[in-house]
Amino acid sequence: MSKDKRFLQGNDAVALGALYAGCRFFAGYPITPSTEVAEKLAAMLPKAGGRFIQMEDEIAAMAAVIGASLAGRKSLTATSGPGMSLKMENLGFGCMAEVPCVILNVMRGGPSTGTPTGPGQSDIMQAKWGPHGDHPCIALTPSTVAEQFTETVRAFNLSEKYRTPVIILTDEIIGHMREAVEIPAEGELEVIDRVKPDCAPEDYLPYDSSKGDVPPMANFGEGYRYHVTGLNHDASGFPTAKPSIIDSEERRLVRKVEANYDDIVKVEEFMCGDADRIVFAFGSSARSAKDAVLALREKGVKAGLLKALTIWPFPERHIKKYADGGVKGILVPELNLGQAVCETERAAGGKCPVEGLFRVDSEAILPSQISGTLERF
């Protein structure tokens, strides 16, 4: 059978990946550089039996996505920095109420309105710490158009498996570039659906963690009538002011993600085996980093690339392994003024120097910038 190979834009690959993963609802608000995802799904969702809506604002779009997921549909919204800022309160609600859904942030340049048509990678910390309070965070960072597809499928899978919102943190370069993608055949990639309760409705506790940190989830309308709230709640879902329950539930919420590092954190190790210097990169910057490593290897410099496909939870164990292994240093190129580099430093624990290479002029980091810096290590 011939492969279904298509020449696709990064944003379109997210739309196709979402459909593959079983997404049947999209709510969004137009914003550059993510809008193609909404346009594509407005056309394609109905053909798959799904529905699309353009809401009155980003806040409502995030709300609608959570509502639709509660009513049983895998749901997606897509935005960029300014929209992401607006979604934060409801994103926190989704984490607290443990409602699976996927949020695509096609990162653009700058704070505030910034450079809408330019790339950025400056929402790394926002993804983790944007909503107030402690909460779990899973964020994925694809760096090719093919990964836009596969990581979107993975985002939905993780979201359903861990009953939590998952963020895809891509950037304008990856979102708008085009390259060929082999579309996986049906069944080729695993598709995970939320675990539903197997108890009688009258026995159902929506946040019962007695059998594990991720409680089974019933959809509205399936006979399991329950209460959903952003207030601290107990296993029954109703508000509680009991300090011991508030404490144990908040810890469970974070633990259900943090304790599953091996399942969630995906890092590609490229030429790292004998490397004496490492570049840790993600998204479009990882593409530059790969060229830099290849160029250095040609010159006999032993460089390696750690390419993060998961940026939250932060790939600290991967970094620690190389820091402890005695590399000369780790370079973190990113389109911001220093975000992932701080986490990398923390993970390296002083075992090796960690240096950042930052660019915020709305242009991509050049391979030569990375190789030039790495060479000095």
Partner 1 sequence: MSRYEIRLSGSGGQGMITAGIILANAASIYEGKNAVQSQSYGPEARGGASKAEVIISDEEINFPKVTSPDFLVALTQEAYDKYSKDIKPGSTVVVDGAFVKNTGGGDFRLYSMPVTGTVLERLGKQLGANIATIAAANAIGGFVSEEALLKSVLSMIPKGTEDFNRKAYGIGLELAAEALGRGPGKGL
Partner 2 sequence: MAYDYAKFIRPGRLPHIWCPGCGYGIIMKSMLRAIDSTGWSKDEIVLASGIGCASRLPGYVDFNTIHTTHGRSLGFATGIKLANPALKVIAMGGDGDMSAIGGNHFIHACRRNIDITVLVFNNYIYGMTGGQYSPTTPMGAKATTAPYGMIEPSFDIARLAVAAGATFVGRTTSYHAVPMEKLILQALNHKGLSVVEIMAGCPTGYGRRNGQKAASDMLIWEKEHAVPYEKAKNMTEAEMAGKFAIGVIYKDESRPEYVESYDRAVGLSKRG
Q: How far is the CB of 97 from partner 2 (least distance, A)?
A: 8
Please, which of residues 197-216 interact with partner 1 by CB under 8 A?
none
Q: How far is the CB of 84 from partner 2 (least distance, A)?
A: 16
User: Does 255 sit near partner 1 (CB under 8 A)?
Assistant: no
Q: How far is the CB of 341 from partner 1 (least distance, A)?
A: 21
Question: Is 41 in a helix, a strand, or coil?
Answer: helix
**Between 66 and 145, CB nearer to partner 1:** 145
Binding mask 24-63 for partner 1 (x = CB under 8 A): --------x-------------------------------
**Which residues contribute to the site for partner 2 (CB under 8 A)?**
24-25, 27, 46, 49, 51, 53, 55-57, 59-73, 75, 89-90, 93, 97, 219-223, 225-231, 238-239
CA distance 310 to 264: 7
Quick one: what does residue 176 bind among partner 1, partner 2, none, with the CB cut-off 5 to 8 Å set by partner type? Answer: partner 1
Quick one: what does residue 75 bind among partner 1, partner 2, none, with the CB cut-off 5 to 8 Å set by partner type? Answer: partner 2
Enumerate the β-bridge partners of residue 28. Answer: 54
Q: Which long-range contacts (CB under 8 A, 24 or more apart) does 66-72 make?
A: 66/90, 66/93, 66/94, 66/97, 66/99, 66/101, 66/165, 68/25, 68/27, 69/25, 69/99, 69/100, 69/101, 70/99, 70/219, 70/220, 70/228, 71/219, 71/220, 71/221, 72/219, 72/220, 72/221, 72/222
Give the pair of three-digit tokens for residue 317: 């164990």
**Between 59 and 254, CB nearer to partner 2:** 59
**Between 82 and 353, CB nearer to partner 1:** 82
Cα dist from 376 to 276, 289, 323, 372, whole Å: 12, 15, 17, 7
User: Does 366 sit near partner 1 (CB under 8 A)?
Assistant: yes
Q: Kindly indicate which of the ranges 92-100, 239-247, 257-265, 364-372 contains the residues binding partner 1, using the contact rule CB under 8 A.
A: 364-372
> Strands 267-270 and 310-312, how do they pair?
unpaired
Residue 336 has what DSSP assignment?
Answer: S
Q: Which residues contact 327 (CB under 8 A, 6 or more apart)?
A: 275, 276, 277, 278, 352
User: Does 189 sit near partner 1 (CB under 8 A)?
Assistant: no
Q: How far is the CB of 78 from partner 2 (least distance, A)?
A: 15
E-only strand ranges, 49-204? 51-54, 74-79, 101-109, 115-119, 138-140, 165-171, 178-183
Q: Which residue from 44, 48, 178, 219 is in contact with partner 1, where contact means CB under 8 A?
A: 178
Binding mask 289-328 for partner 1 (x = CB under 8 A): -xx--x----------------------------------
Burial of 185 (0-12, 13-18, 19+ CB in 10 A): exposed
User: Does 3 sit near partner 1 (CB under 8 A)?
Assistant: no
Report the interface residues with partner 1, using CB under 8 A: 5-7, 32, 116-117, 173, 176-180, 284, 287-288, 290-291, 294, 363-364, 366-367
